Structure 1
Amino acid sequence: MKTATAEILLVSCGIFREELARLGPSVMGQARLMFLDSMLHMRPAKLDEILLGLAKNEDRRMALVYGDCCPHMADLTRLPSIRKVRGVNCCDIILGQTMYRQLRREGVFFFLPEWTSRWEEVFRVELGLKDRPLAREFMHEMHTRLMYLDTGLADVPTRTLRDIEAFFDMPVEVRPIGLEHLERGVMDVIRRLG
Protein backbone atom coordinates (compact mmCIF):
# COMPACT_ATOMS: atom_id res chain seq x y z
CA MET A 1 0.00 0.00 0.00
CA LYS A 2 1.25 3.46 -0.90
CA THR A 3 1.69 5.86 2.01
CA ALA A 4 1.64 9.63 2.33
CA THR A 5 5.43 9.51 2.53
CA ALA A 6 5.73 7.70 -0.81
CA GLU A 7 7.23 9.62 -3.70
CA ILE A 8 4.89 11.75 -5.79
CA LEU A 9 5.43 11.43 -9.51
CA LEU A 10 3.83 14.33 -11.37
CA VAL A 11 3.15 13.10 -14.92
CA SER A 12 2.29 15.85 -17.36
CA CYS A 13 1.55 16.27 -21.00
CA GLY A 14 4.57 17.88 -22.65
CA ILE A 15 2.34 20.77 -23.64
CA PHE A 16 2.93 22.16 -20.11
CA ARG A 17 6.72 21.62 -19.98
CA GLU A 18 7.69 25.31 -19.91
CA GLU A 19 4.80 26.33 -17.67
CA LEU A 20 5.49 23.68 -15.01
CA ALA A 21 9.21 24.49 -15.12
CA ARG A 22 8.27 28.09 -14.34
CA LEU A 23 6.07 27.05 -11.40
CA GLY A 24 8.88 24.93 -9.97
CA PRO A 25 9.26 23.42 -6.49
CA SER A 26 7.41 26.27 -4.76
CA VAL A 27 4.23 24.81 -6.25
CA MET A 28 5.14 21.15 -6.74
CA GLY A 29 7.21 20.59 -3.63
CA GLN A 30 9.39 17.49 -3.93
CA ALA A 31 7.26 15.88 -6.65
CA ARG A 32 9.35 14.34 -9.42
CA LEU A 33 8.34 15.55 -12.88
CA MET A 34 7.84 13.35 -15.93
CA PHE A 35 6.72 14.76 -19.26
CA LEU A 36 5.15 12.68 -22.01
CA ASP A 37 5.03 13.74 -25.65
CA SER A 38 1.98 15.91 -26.34
CA MET A 39 1.42 13.99 -29.59
CA LEU A 40 0.15 11.09 -27.45
CA HIS A 41 -3.09 13.09 -27.44
CA MET A 42 -3.45 11.84 -31.01
CA ARG A 43 -2.87 8.24 -29.84
CA PRO A 44 -5.07 7.83 -26.76
CA ALA A 45 -4.61 4.04 -26.59
CA LYS A 46 -0.83 4.49 -26.38
CA LEU A 47 -1.22 7.17 -23.69
CA ASP A 48 -3.49 4.76 -21.81
CA GLU A 49 -0.85 2.03 -22.03
CA ILE A 50 1.92 4.30 -20.71
CA LEU A 51 -0.15 5.68 -17.81
CA LEU A 52 -1.44 2.24 -16.82
CA GLY A 53 2.16 1.00 -16.81
CA LEU A 54 3.26 3.87 -14.56
CA ALA A 55 0.32 3.19 -12.22
CA LYS A 56 1.67 -0.29 -11.46
CA ASN A 57 4.51 1.10 -9.33
CA GLU A 58 3.49 0.36 -5.74
CA ASP A 59 6.01 2.75 -4.16
CA ARG A 60 4.68 6.10 -5.26
CA ARG A 61 1.68 8.32 -5.63
CA MET A 62 0.94 9.84 -9.03
CA ALA A 63 -0.42 13.28 -9.93
CA LEU A 64 -1.60 13.62 -13.52
CA VAL A 65 -1.55 16.97 -15.31
CA TYR A 66 -3.82 15.85 -18.11
CA GLY A 67 -7.34 16.34 -19.30
CA ASP A 68 -9.54 13.39 -20.16
CA CYS A 69 -7.14 12.43 -22.94
CA CYS A 70 -7.33 8.64 -22.91
CA PRO A 71 -10.02 5.99 -22.52
CA HIS A 72 -9.07 4.81 -19.01
CA MET A 73 -8.34 8.17 -17.38
CA ALA A 74 -11.40 7.87 -15.11
CA ASP A 75 -10.36 4.33 -14.10
CA LEU A 76 -6.86 5.54 -13.24
CA THR A 77 -8.15 8.35 -11.05
CA ARG A 78 -10.29 5.94 -9.05
CA LEU A 79 -7.12 4.27 -7.77
CA PRO A 80 -6.32 5.51 -4.25
CA SER A 81 -2.82 6.74 -5.11
CA ILE A 82 -3.61 8.59 -8.36
CA ARG A 83 -5.24 11.97 -8.80
CA LYS A 84 -5.67 14.21 -11.85
CA VAL A 85 -5.93 17.97 -12.11
CA ARG A 86 -9.47 19.13 -12.72
CA GLY A 87 -10.22 19.92 -16.36
CA VAL A 88 -11.37 18.15 -19.49
CA ASN A 89 -8.36 19.21 -21.57
CA CYS A 90 -5.23 21.35 -21.44
CA CYS A 91 -7.07 24.54 -22.36
CA ASP A 92 -9.60 24.01 -19.56
CA ILE A 93 -6.73 23.39 -17.12
CA ILE A 94 -4.82 26.55 -18.01
CA LEU A 95 -7.78 28.91 -18.61
CA GLY A 96 -10.02 27.73 -15.81
CA GLN A 97 -13.43 26.19 -16.36
CA THR A 98 -15.44 29.43 -16.58
CA MET A 99 -13.27 31.13 -19.21
CA TYR A 100 -12.75 27.90 -21.14
CA ARG A 101 -16.48 27.19 -21.36
CA GLN A 102 -17.28 30.76 -22.37
CA LEU A 103 -14.72 30.75 -25.18
CA ARG A 104 -15.79 27.28 -26.36
CA ARG A 105 -19.41 28.47 -26.55
CA GLU A 106 -18.11 31.29 -28.74
CA GLY A 107 -16.56 28.70 -31.07
CA VAL A 108 -12.89 29.33 -30.32
CA PHE A 109 -10.18 26.86 -31.34
CA PHE A 110 -7.13 27.20 -29.09
CA PHE A 111 -3.42 27.06 -29.81
CA LEU A 112 -1.07 26.62 -26.87
CA PRO A 113 2.62 27.48 -27.40
CA GLU A 114 3.92 23.90 -27.63
CA TRP A 115 1.37 22.75 -30.20
CA THR A 116 1.65 26.01 -32.14
CA SER A 117 5.23 25.16 -32.97
CA ARG A 118 4.00 21.73 -34.18
CA TRP A 119 0.79 22.87 -35.88
CA GLU A 120 1.69 21.42 -39.27
CA GLU A 121 2.47 18.03 -37.72
CA VAL A 122 -0.85 18.13 -35.86
CA PHE A 123 -3.07 19.19 -38.74
CA ARG A 124 -1.33 17.98 -41.89
CA VAL A 125 0.15 14.73 -40.60
CA GLU A 126 -1.92 13.60 -37.61
CA LEU A 127 -5.31 14.87 -38.79
CA GLY A 128 -4.56 14.39 -42.48
CA LEU A 129 -5.64 17.92 -43.44
CA LYS A 130 -2.98 18.40 -46.12
CA ASP A 131 -5.40 19.99 -48.56
CA ARG A 132 -5.86 23.67 -47.71
CA PRO A 133 -9.51 23.92 -48.89
CA LEU A 134 -10.45 20.86 -46.82
CA ALA A 135 -8.62 22.24 -43.77
CA ARG A 136 -10.38 25.58 -44.14
CA GLU A 137 -13.77 23.92 -44.52
CA PHE A 138 -13.10 21.81 -41.43
CA MET A 139 -12.04 24.77 -39.31
CA HIS A 140 -14.74 27.17 -40.53
CA GLU A 141 -17.45 24.55 -40.01
CA MET A 142 -16.37 23.79 -36.45
CA HIS A 143 -15.07 27.14 -35.15
CA THR A 144 -15.69 30.87 -35.35
CA ARG A 145 -12.16 31.99 -34.54
CA LEU A 146 -8.65 30.92 -33.58
CA MET A 147 -6.87 31.96 -30.39
CA TYR A 148 -3.24 31.66 -29.32
CA LEU A 149 -2.95 31.39 -25.54
CA ASP A 150 0.16 33.39 -24.68
CA THR A 151 1.56 32.14 -21.37
CA GLY A 152 4.22 34.85 -21.49
CA LEU A 153 7.09 32.37 -21.29
CA ALA A 154 8.19 32.70 -24.91
CA ASP A 155 7.94 35.31 -27.62
CA VAL A 156 4.65 35.19 -29.48
CA PRO A 157 5.45 33.25 -32.69
CA THR A 158 4.09 35.93 -35.02
CA ARG A 159 5.38 34.34 -38.22
CA THR A 160 3.93 30.92 -37.32
CA LEU A 161 0.60 32.51 -36.42
CA ARG A 162 0.56 34.23 -39.83
CA ASP A 163 1.14 30.82 -41.48
CA ILE A 164 -1.76 29.39 -39.45
CA GLU A 165 -4.00 32.31 -40.45
CA ALA A 166 -3.14 31.82 -44.13
CA PHE A 167 -3.66 28.06 -43.99
CA PHE A 168 -7.08 28.24 -42.33
CA ASP A 169 -8.12 31.64 -43.73
CA MET A 170 -9.00 32.80 -40.20
CA PRO A 171 -7.29 35.41 -38.02
CA VAL A 172 -5.56 34.26 -34.84
CA GLU A 173 -6.27 36.34 -31.76
CA VAL A 174 -3.45 36.45 -29.20
CA ARG A 175 -4.75 36.23 -25.64
CA PRO A 176 -2.27 36.75 -22.79
CA ILE A 177 -3.01 34.37 -19.94
CA GLY A 178 -1.39 33.74 -16.61
CA LEU A 179 -0.43 30.51 -14.93
CA GLU A 180 -2.68 30.90 -11.89
CA HIS A 181 -5.24 28.26 -12.94
CA LEU A 182 -2.51 25.74 -13.74
CA GLU A 183 -0.78 26.57 -10.45
CA ARG A 184 -3.99 26.11 -8.45
CA GLY A 185 -4.72 22.86 -10.28
CA VAL A 186 -1.28 21.42 -9.53
CA MET A 187 -1.38 22.49 -5.89
CA ASP A 188 -4.86 21.00 -5.54
CA VAL A 189 -3.92 17.65 -7.08
CA ILE A 190 -0.87 17.33 -4.83
CA ARG A 191 -2.99 18.24 -1.79
CA ARG A 192 -5.58 15.60 -2.73
CA LEU A 193 -2.85 12.97 -2.84
CA GLY A 194 -2.31 13.80 0.85
Structure 2
Amino acid sequence: MSGKKLLCCGILRHELEHLLGDQNFNITYLDAALHVDFDKLAQSVTADLRDMGDGYNPVVIGNQCHPEMEQMVAKYGGRVIRAKSCIEMLMGEKMAELDAEAKTFYLTSGWLENWRQIFREGLGWDAIDARQNFGYYDRILLLDTGIIPIDDIDLLEFYDYAQVPVEIVSVDLNNLRQLLDQLLGG
Protein backbone atom coordinates (compact mmCIF):
# COMPACT_ATOMS: atom_id res chain seq x y z
CA MET A 1 0.00 0.00 0.00
CA SER A 2 3.04 2.24 -0.31
CA GLY A 3 2.35 5.83 -1.35
CA LYS A 4 -1.43 5.52 -1.48
CA LYS A 5 -3.63 8.53 -1.04
CA LEU A 6 -6.51 8.59 1.39
CA LEU A 7 -9.19 11.20 2.13
CA CYS A 8 -10.60 10.92 5.63
CA CYS A 9 -12.83 12.68 8.09
CA GLY A 10 -10.79 14.31 10.83
CA ILE A 11 -13.05 12.71 13.44
CA LEU A 12 -11.20 9.40 12.96
CA ARG A 13 -7.67 10.82 12.77
CA HIS A 14 -6.36 9.04 15.87
CA GLU A 15 -7.93 5.70 14.98
CA LEU A 16 -6.69 5.77 11.39
CA GLU A 17 -3.17 6.77 12.35
CA HIS A 18 -3.14 3.95 14.88
CA LEU A 19 -4.38 1.35 12.39
CA LEU A 20 -2.27 2.48 9.45
CA GLY A 21 0.84 2.83 11.60
CA ASP A 22 3.99 3.26 9.60
CA GLN A 23 2.42 2.42 6.24
CA ASN A 24 3.18 5.01 3.62
CA PHE A 25 -0.08 6.91 3.16
CA ASN A 26 -0.61 10.47 2.05
CA ILE A 27 -3.67 11.23 4.18
CA THR A 28 -5.79 14.34 3.78
CA TYR A 29 -8.08 15.00 6.74
CA LEU A 30 -11.29 16.96 6.37
CA ASP A 31 -12.28 19.43 9.07
CA ALA A 32 -14.57 17.59 11.49
CA ALA A 33 -17.13 20.41 11.58
CA LEU A 34 -17.89 20.22 7.84
CA HIS A 35 -20.68 17.72 8.57
CA VAL A 36 -22.96 20.56 9.61
CA ASP A 37 -22.89 22.24 6.19
CA PHE A 38 -23.51 20.02 3.16
CA ASP A 39 -22.32 22.68 0.72
CA LYS A 40 -19.00 23.21 2.50
CA LEU A 41 -18.52 19.46 2.91
CA ALA A 42 -19.17 18.88 -0.80
CA GLN A 43 -16.79 21.68 -1.77
CA SER A 44 -14.04 20.32 0.46
CA VAL A 45 -14.46 16.70 -0.64
CA THR A 46 -14.50 17.72 -4.30
CA ALA A 47 -11.47 20.01 -3.98
CA ASP A 48 -9.46 17.44 -2.03
CA LEU A 49 -10.27 14.65 -4.48
CA ARG A 50 -9.34 16.93 -7.38
CA ASP A 51 -6.02 17.68 -5.65
CA MET A 52 -5.38 13.97 -5.10
CA GLY A 53 -5.30 13.51 -8.86
CA ASP A 54 -6.11 10.56 -11.05
CA GLY A 55 -6.18 7.01 -9.85
CA TYR A 56 -8.01 5.12 -7.17
CA ASN A 57 -8.83 7.44 -4.29
CA PRO A 58 -10.28 5.72 -1.21
CA VAL A 59 -12.39 7.89 1.09
CA VAL A 60 -13.00 7.21 4.78
CA ILE A 61 -16.14 9.27 5.28
CA GLY A 62 -19.54 7.84 6.08
CA ASN A 63 -21.67 7.44 2.98
CA GLN A 64 -24.52 9.21 4.78
CA CYS A 65 -22.48 12.20 5.93
CA HIS A 66 -23.68 13.88 2.74
CA PRO A 67 -26.69 12.74 0.67
CA GLU A 68 -24.57 12.64 -2.50
CA MET A 69 -21.29 11.38 -1.00
CA GLU A 70 -20.95 8.26 -3.13
CA GLN A 71 -21.77 10.08 -6.38
CA MET A 72 -19.33 12.92 -5.58
CA VAL A 73 -16.52 10.53 -4.79
CA ALA A 74 -17.21 8.30 -7.81
CA LYS A 75 -16.73 11.29 -10.16
CA TYR A 76 -13.09 11.37 -9.07
CA GLY A 77 -12.41 7.65 -9.22
CA GLY A 78 -12.91 7.18 -5.52
CA ARG A 79 -14.78 4.75 -3.38
CA VAL A 80 -16.36 5.43 0.00
CA ILE A 81 -15.84 3.09 2.93
CA ARG A 82 -18.82 0.78 3.44
CA ALA A 83 -20.40 2.44 6.48
CA LYS A 84 -23.02 5.11 7.09
CA SER A 85 -20.98 7.06 9.63
CA CYS A 86 -17.86 7.07 11.77
CA ILE A 87 -19.93 5.53 14.55
CA GLU A 88 -20.96 2.61 12.37
CA MET A 89 -17.32 2.24 11.28
CA LEU A 90 -16.38 1.65 14.90
CA MET A 91 -19.48 -0.19 16.12
CA GLY A 92 -20.61 -2.32 13.20
CA GLU A 93 -23.63 -4.46 14.02
CA LYS A 94 -23.36 -3.75 17.76
CA MET A 95 -24.83 -0.31 17.05
CA ALA A 96 -28.28 -1.77 16.32
CA GLU A 97 -28.20 -3.66 19.61
CA LEU A 98 -27.37 -0.50 21.57
CA ASP A 99 -29.98 1.51 19.65
CA ALA A 100 -32.62 -1.03 20.67
CA GLU A 101 -31.84 -0.39 24.35
CA ALA A 102 -32.42 3.37 24.36
CA LYS A 103 -32.47 6.50 22.20
CA THR A 104 -28.74 6.99 21.89
CA PHE A 105 -26.50 9.75 20.63
CA TYR A 106 -22.96 8.58 19.95
CA LEU A 107 -19.67 10.40 20.41
CA THR A 108 -16.14 9.38 19.57
CA SER A 109 -13.02 10.88 21.08
CA GLY A 110 -12.76 12.93 17.88
CA TRP A 111 -16.29 14.27 18.36
CA LEU A 112 -15.49 15.08 21.99
CA GLU A 113 -12.36 16.99 20.90
CA ASN A 114 -14.38 18.94 18.32
CA TRP A 115 -17.82 19.33 19.92
CA ARG A 116 -17.52 23.10 20.41
CA GLN A 117 -16.51 23.60 16.78
CA ILE A 118 -19.30 21.32 15.55
CA PHE A 119 -22.23 22.30 17.76
CA ARG A 120 -21.52 25.81 19.00
CA GLU A 121 -19.70 27.28 16.02
CA GLY A 122 -20.94 25.11 13.14
CA LEU A 123 -24.57 24.70 14.13
CA GLY A 124 -24.74 27.84 16.25
CA TRP A 125 -26.36 26.01 19.16
CA ASP A 126 -26.41 27.82 22.48
CA ALA A 127 -27.20 25.95 25.71
CA ILE A 128 -30.96 26.08 25.06
CA ASP A 129 -30.60 24.73 21.51
CA ALA A 130 -28.37 21.95 22.79
CA ARG A 131 -30.84 20.91 25.46
CA GLN A 132 -33.71 20.94 22.97
CA ASN A 133 -31.80 18.86 20.42
CA PHE A 134 -30.10 16.45 22.81
CA GLY A 135 -33.24 16.21 24.96
CA TYR A 136 -34.59 13.64 22.48
CA TYR A 137 -31.94 11.15 23.63
CA ASP A 138 -31.98 8.96 26.73
CA ARG A 139 -28.21 8.74 26.80
CA ILE A 140 -24.99 9.68 25.09
CA LEU A 141 -22.44 6.94 24.54
CA LEU A 142 -18.81 7.96 24.24
CA LEU A 143 -16.95 5.28 22.30
CA ASP A 144 -13.54 4.81 23.89
CA THR A 145 -11.03 3.07 21.66
CA GLY A 146 -8.29 3.47 24.27
CA ILE A 147 -6.04 5.25 21.78
CA ILE A 148 -6.19 8.69 23.34
CA PRO A 149 -7.11 9.54 26.91
CA ILE A 150 -10.55 10.98 27.49
CA ASP A 151 -10.31 14.47 28.91
CA ASP A 152 -12.56 14.54 31.99
CA ILE A 153 -12.99 18.32 31.77
CA ASP A 154 -14.14 18.10 28.13
CA LEU A 155 -16.51 15.31 29.07
CA LEU A 156 -18.00 17.31 31.96
CA GLU A 157 -18.32 20.42 29.80
CA PHE A 158 -20.08 18.43 27.08
CA TYR A 159 -22.44 16.92 29.66
CA ASP A 160 -23.17 20.39 31.03
CA TYR A 161 -23.94 21.54 27.48
CA ALA A 162 -26.10 18.57 26.44
CA GLN A 163 -27.69 17.75 29.83
CA VAL A 164 -27.97 14.07 28.92
CA PRO A 165 -26.16 11.30 30.84
CA VAL A 166 -22.90 10.30 29.16
CA GLU A 167 -21.69 6.73 29.43
CA ILE A 168 -18.27 5.55 28.28
CA VAL A 169 -18.24 2.33 26.25
CA SER A 170 -15.03 0.58 25.29
CA VAL A 171 -14.80 -0.42 21.64
CA ASP A 172 -12.06 -2.11 19.68
CA LEU A 173 -10.95 -1.24 16.19
CA ASN A 174 -11.75 -4.58 14.58
CA ASN A 175 -14.73 -3.34 12.56
CA LEU A 176 -12.87 -0.26 11.31
CA ARG A 177 -9.83 -2.41 10.49
CA GLN A 178 -11.99 -4.80 8.47
CA LEU A 179 -13.68 -1.92 6.58
CA LEU A 180 -10.29 -0.34 5.84
CA ASP A 181 -8.97 -3.65 4.54
CA GLN A 182 -11.96 -3.93 2.21
CA LEU A 183 -11.59 -0.33 1.03
CA LEU A 184 -7.84 -0.55 0.49
CA GLY A 185 -7.93 -3.97 -1.10
CA GLY A 186 -6.02 -5.69 1.70
TM value normalised by structure 1: 0.82
Change (3 A) 1:121 1:93: same
Residues 81-137 of structure 1: per-residue CA shift (max 9 Å, x gap): 3111111111011111x112233342111111122122223222222221x344223
SS at match of 2:185: helix
Q: 1:171 aligns with which of 152, 165, 169?
A: 165
Cα distance, 1:25 vs structure 2: 5.0
Structure 2 match to 1:82: 78
In structure 2, stretches of 5+ residues that fail to align are: none
1:113 and 2:109 equivalent? yes
Measure the CA separation in 2 of the matches of 1:6 and 1:173: 39
Measure the CA separation in 2 of the matches of 1:144 and 1:74: 32
Query: Is the radius of gyration larger for structure 1 or structure 2?
Result: 1
Measure the CA separation in 2 of the matches of 1:165 and 1:181: 28
Identity %: 25
Structure 1 match to 2:68: 72
Conserved? CA contact 2:57–2:76, under 8 Å:
no
Pairs aligned (count)? 183
Residues 38-60 of structure 1: per-residue CA shift (max 9 Å, x gap): 11112222221232234446532
Structure 2 match to 1:184: 178
Conserved? CA contact 2:65–2:85, under 8 Å:
yes
1:144 and 2:115 equivalent? no
Measure the CA separation in 1 of the matches of 2:174 and 2:45: 26
Change (3 A) 1:168 1:7: closer
1:161 and 2:155 equivalent? yes
Conserved? CA contact 2:49–2:57, under 8 Å:
yes
Conserved? CA contact 1:6–1:61, under 8 Å:
no
In structure 1, stretches of 5+ residues that fail to align are: none
Q: 2:31 aligns with which of 26, 34, 37?
A: 37
1:59 and 2:54 equivalent? yes
TM value normalised by structure 2: 0.85
Measure the CA separation in 1 of the matches of 2:46 and 2:54: 15
Measure the CA separation in 2 of the matches of 1:163 and 1:39: 18
SS at match of 1:117: helix
Cα distance, 1:6 vs structure 2: 11
Conserved? CA contact 2:8–2:28, under 8 Å:
yes
Measure the CA separation in 2 of the matches of 1:134 and 1:89: 23
Conserved? CA contact 2:105–2:141, under 8 Å:
yes
Conserved? CA contact 1:112–1:149, under 8 Å:
yes
SS at match of 1:11: strand
Change (3 A) 1:162 1:72: same
